[in-house]
Amino acid sequence: MRVLAAMSGGVDSAVAAALAVEAGHDVVGVHMALSRNRDQFRTGSRGCCSIEDAGDARRAADVLGIPYYVWDLSEKFEDTVVTDFLAEYEAGRTPNPCVRCNEHVKFEALLDKATALGFDAVATGHYARIVEHADGSRELHRSPNADKDQSYVLAVMGPERLRRAIFPLGGFASKAEVRAEAARRGLAVSAKPDSYDICFVADGDTRGFLRERLGSRPGQVLDVEGNVVGEHDGAYAYTVGQRRGLALGRPAADGRARYVLDVRTDTNTVVVGPAELLSVDRIAGERATWLVDPTDAGDDVEVQVRTHGAPVPAGVRATDGGAGLEVELTGTPLRGVAAGQSVVVYRGTQVLGQATVSRAWRAARAGVVA
């Protein structure tokens, strides 16, 4: 097959490209330039897509003996991932930019462009497994490397794009194995640190990034009785479940810690309260994507609401003809579920589908959290 290998400049994508070459595919490497103002160097392990990363990807391609190109997808990235990130926070929701990047950039813009150029598939360094059956149908499964599993952020890709994706790292049980593989092949990125945080917020200061883009919008922090207990510089900078950085001027009567329960952008207020009010037992989702027939979901599944969150037992029912879903937790309630997060549905290791959280209901007492 003709395979386009997405090369970020890190060790995972370099080894994925190497394994695609070893499998006998006709491989071309491409680095996606996603930022309009890329720093020349990373800040330690923060950020990605820097000029340094592009150079590392080129050197890896040279070692593998494959053609290498840089594609400027910064406009697409800004218009979809960054714009969505800002709009969601401004609306009092908590987005996952990695999900949007996989949806709109890696498995839309990149894969669609690759298909237009005659490539059969795109190979990436994601940690996830694809199980292919004799009839050609495919399933997306968790990686055996639980610490690095990325099936959660890949659930949004949908069945059509899953058919044109290759995840060569699907069988690796640890990052150490991948680094050893890179070293064995003479790839200089074998010891390169992983990137963390949000790639377009390289210094890790998300609140500062939001303030720079959205401006100062002072308002009040309220407790559940409506008393003013503090002030903020912008409700958009808070998320449900947050405990640190609240700067409350009035302590709780019982002395216990308080958490963000709600972000009300209509009144520019943030509501805080005790931890028990963060627990939810029902979730509604919108903009659903299914990798199976939606009717295959049921009472014997699990859901996950954070990239590396623990899956919990649930019953899931598709709504609106598959465009949405409803979740009834059948075990321990989840804490701090925020609108804008992704809720991903699993049966065992298999990904069934996902949706964006639109509402969540408190388990401790009636009322909408998000």
85 vs 195, higher pLDDT: 85
Residue 197 pLDDT? 66
Domain count, the chain: 3
If asked whether residues 150 and 59 sit together in one domain, one would say: yes
Quick check: is 69 in a domain? yes
Burial 195-209 (b: 16+ CB within 10 A, else e): bebbbbbbeeeeeeb
Residue 186 pLDDT? 96
Quick check: is 246 in a domain? yes
If asked whether residues 140 and 30 sit together in one domain, one would say: yes
Beta bridge partner(s), residue 357: 285
Nearest to 303 by CA among 339, 353, 340: 353
Asked if 101 is an active-site residue, the reply is: yes
If asked whether residues 284 and 260 sit together in one domain, one would say: no
Residue 138 class from Cβ within 10 Å (0-12 exposed, 13-18 middle, 19+ buried)?
Answer: middle
If asked whether residues 351 and 227 sit together in one domain, one would say: no
Q: What are the pLDDT digits (tens) for 72-109?
A: 999 999 999 999 999 999 999 999 999 999 999 999 99
Quick check: is 211 in a domain? no
Q: What's the CA angle centered on 275, arms 273 and 279, to 5 degrees?
A: 110
| CATH number for 238 | 2.30.30.280
If asked whether residues 262 and 292 sit together in one domain, one would say: no
If asked whether residues 125 and 49 sit together in one domain, one would say: yes
Residue pair 279/285 in contact by the 8 Å Cβ criterion: no
Domain boundary among 273, 289, 318: 273
The answer to whether residue 187 scores a pLDDT higher than 60 is: yes
Residue 251 pLDDT? 76
Domain boundary among 273, 297, 321: 273
Quick check: is 304 in a domain? yes
Task: Output the DSSP codes for 234-289.
Answer: -GGG--TT--TT---SS--TT----EEEEEETTTTEEEEE-GGGGEEEEEEEEEEE
The answer to whether residue 46 scores a pLDDT higher than 60 is: no
| CATH number for 143 | 3.40.50.620
If asked whether residues 6 and 63 sit together in one domain, one would say: yes
Beta bridge partner(s), residue 6: 30
Nearest to 344 by CA among 331, 327, 363: 327
Residue pair 122/166 in contact by the 8 Å Cβ criterion: yes
Does the CA dihedral 331-334-337-343 come out positive or negative? negative
Of 48, 49, 98, 101, which residue is the catalytic one?
101
If asked whether residues 245 and 299 sit together in one domain, one would say: no
If asked whether residues 262 and 350 sit together in one domain, one would say: no
Quick check: is 156 in a domain? yes
pTM, 2 dp: 0.91
Quick check: is 197 in a domain? no
Name the average pLDDT for the chain: 91
The percentage of the chain sitting over the pLDDT mark of 90, rounded to a whole number, equals 81
If asked whether residues 311 and 266 sit together in one domain, one would say: no
Residue 148 pLDDT? 94
20 vs 248, higher pLDDT: 20
The answer to whether residue 355 scores a pLDDT higher than 50 is: yes
If asked whether residues 171 and 269 sit together in one domain, one would say: no
Query: What confidence category does residue 370 fall into, taking pLDDT thresholds of 50, 70 and 90?
Result: very low
If asked whether residues 231 and 253 sit together in one domain, one would say: yes
For 353, the 3-state DSSP assignment is strand
Domain that holds residue 221: 216-273
Domain boundary among 227, 258, 273: 273
Residue 318 pLDDT? 96
Amino acid in the structure at residue 12: D
Q: What's the CA angle centered on 48, arms 350 and 342, to 5 degrees?
A: 35
**Strand spans (E) along the chain:** 2-6, 26-33, 68-72, 121-123, 129-132, 138-141, 165-166, 219-222, 228-232, 259-264, 269-273, 279-290, 301-304, 312-319, 324-329, 334-335, 342-347, 350-362
Kindly state the tokens that stand for 317: 């029912």
Quick check: is 205 in a domain? no
Quick check: is 338 in a domain? yes
Asked if 48 is an active-site residue, the reply is: no
Q: How are the residues of the chain apportioned to helix, strand and coil, as percentages rounded to the nearest 5?
A: 30, 30, 40
Q: What are the pLDDT digits (tens) for 260-308?
A: 999 999 999 999 999 999 999 999 999 999 999 999 999 999 999 999 8
Of 48, 49, 98, 199, which residue is the catalytic one?
199
